[in-house]
Structure 1
Amino acid sequence: MSKRKSKDNSFSLGECITKVQMILRARFCHHLPGKPFGVEAQYKNLMDLLKQTAVHGESNSVLIVGPRGAGKTMLLKSVLKELMEMKQVKENLLQVHLNGLLQTDDKIALKEVTRQLKLENVVGDKVFGSFAENLAFLLEALKKGNRSSSRPVLFILDEFDLFAHHRNQTLLYNLLDVAQSAQTPLAVVGLTCRLDVLELLEKRVKSRFSHRQIHLLNTFGFKEYVEIFQQQLTLPKEFPDGRFAQEWNQNIQSLCKDKTVEDILQKHFNSSKDFRSLHMLLMLTLSQVTVSNRNIGLTDLLTASRLCTMDSKANVLHGLSVLEFCLIIAMKHLNYIYEGEPFNFEMVYNEFQKFIQRRTHSMHNFEKPVILKAFEHLHQLELIKPMDGASTRTQKEYQLVKLLLDSSQIMDALQKYPHCPTEVQLWASSSLE
Structure 2
Amino acid sequence: MRPPARSSSARALASLREPRMQPMKPSAMSKRKLKDSSAESAECISQVQKILRERFCHHCAAGKLFGMEQQYRHLLELLKRTTVHGESNSALIIGPRGSGKTALLNHVLKDLREMEQVRENLLEVHLNGLLQTNDKVALKEITRQLQLENVVGDKVFGSFAENLAFLLEALRKGDRTSSCPILFVLDEFDLFVHHKNQTLLYNLFDISQSAQTPVTVIGLTCRQDILELLEKRVKSRFSHRQIYLMNSFDFKQYLKIFKKQLSLPAEFSDESFAQKWNNNIQHLSEDKTVQDVLQNLFHHTKDLRSLHLLLMLASSAVTVHHPLLTAADLQEASRQHSTDSKANIVHGLSVLEICLIIAMKHLNEVYDGEPFNFQMVYNEFQKFIQRKAHSMYNFEKPVVMKAFEHLLQLELVKPLERPSARAQREYLLMKLLLDSSQIMDALQVYPNCPTDVKQWAASSLSWL
TM-score by length of 2: 0.83
Answer yes or no: is 1:154 the counterpart of 2:183. Answer: yes
Please give the secondary structure, in 2, of the residue aligned with 1:109: helix
Q: State the match for 1:24 in structure 2.
A: 52
Distance 1:380 1:214 in 2: 43
Preserved contact between residue 362 and residue 423 of structure 1 (Cα < 8 Å): no
Distance 2:322 2:305 in 1: 25
The one-letter amino acid paired with 2:117 is Q
Q: State the match for 1:14 in structure 2.
A: 42
Please give the secondary structure, in 2, of the residue aligned with 1:191: strand
Distance 1:374 1:47 in 2: 58
Please give the secondary structure, in 2, of the residue aligned with 1:95: strand
The one-letter amino acid paired with 1:215 is Y
Preserved contact between residue 414 and residue 431 of structure 2 (Cα < 8 Å): yes
Distance 1:88 1:263 in 2: 49
Q: How far off its partner does 1:341 sit?
A: 4.8
Q: How far off its partner does 1:239 sit?
A: 3.5
Greater C-alpha radius of gyration: 2
Answer yes or no: is 1:70 the counterpart of 2:99. Answer: yes
Q: How far off its partner does 1:122 sit?
A: 4.5
Q: How far off its partner does 1:302 sit?
A: 0.6
Q: State the match for 1:292 in structure 2.
A: 321
Q: How far off its partner does 1:332 sit?
A: 3.3
Moved more, 68-77 or 123-132: 123-132
Preserved contact between residue 383 and residue 403 of structure 1 (Cα < 8 Å): yes
Answer yes or no: is 1:346 the counterpart of 2:375. Answer: yes
Answer yes or no: is 1:198 the counterpart of 2:231. Answer: no
Equivalences for 1:236-255 in 2 at 5 Å? 236-255=265-284
Distance 1:341 1:181 in 2: 55
Distance 2:226 2:387 in 1: 60
Please give the secondary structure, in 2, of the residue aligned with 1:98: strand
Q: How far off its partner does 1:411 sit?
A: 2.5
Q: State the match for 1:403 in structure 2.
A: 432
Superposed CA offset, 1:130-150 (max 9, x none): 41221221453xx6xx64132
Equivalent residue in structure 2 for 1:264, among 287, 293, 304: 293
Equivalences for 1:24-423 in 2 at 5 Å? 24-33=52-61, 34-127=63-156, 129-140=162-173, 147-338=176-367, 340-357=369-386, 359=388, 363-386=392-415, 395-423=424-452
Distance 2:457 2:176 in 1: 77
Judging changes above 3 Å, is the alpha-carbon distance between structure 1 residues 127 and 330 closer, same or farther for their aligned structure 2 residues?
closer
Identity of aligned residues (%): 68
Please give the secondary structure, in 2, of the residue aligned with 1:182: coil
Q: How far off its partner does 1:320 sit?
A: 0.5
Distance 2:35 2:107 in 1: 37
Distance 2:369 2:238 in 1: 50
Judging changes above 3 Å, is the alpha-carbon distance between structure 1 residues 411 and 194 closer, same or farther for their aligned structure 2 residues?
closer
Preserved contact between residue 122 and residue 182 of structure 2 (Cα < 8 Å): yes
Taking only aligned residues, the RMSD between alpha carbons, in angstroms, comes to 2.8
Q: How far off its partner does 1:275 sit?
A: 2.1
Please give the secondary structure, in 1, of the residue aligned with 2:224: coil
Superposed CA offset, 1:318-360 (max 9, x none): 0101111122223334445555554432333233334434556
TM-score by length of 1: 0.88
Structure 1 segments unaligned to the other structure (5+ residues): none
Preserved contact between residue 2 and residue 13 of structure 1 (Cα < 8 Å): no
Structure 2 segments unaligned to the other structure (5+ residues): 1-32
Distance 2:144 2:154 in 1: 14
Distance 1:132 1:341 in 2: 52
Judging changes above 3 Å, is the alpha-carbon distance between structure 1 residues 206 and 329 closer, same or farther for their aligned structure 2 residues?
closer
Q: How far off its partner does 1:53 sit?
A: 0.9
May I ask how many residue pairs the two structures share in their alignment? Answer: 425
Distance 1:120 1:244 in 2: 53
Please give the secondary structure, in 2, of the residue aligned with 1:424: helix
Distance 2:196 2:368 in 1: 47
Distance 2:456 2:66 in 1: 53
Q: How far off its partner does 1:298 sit?
A: 0.6
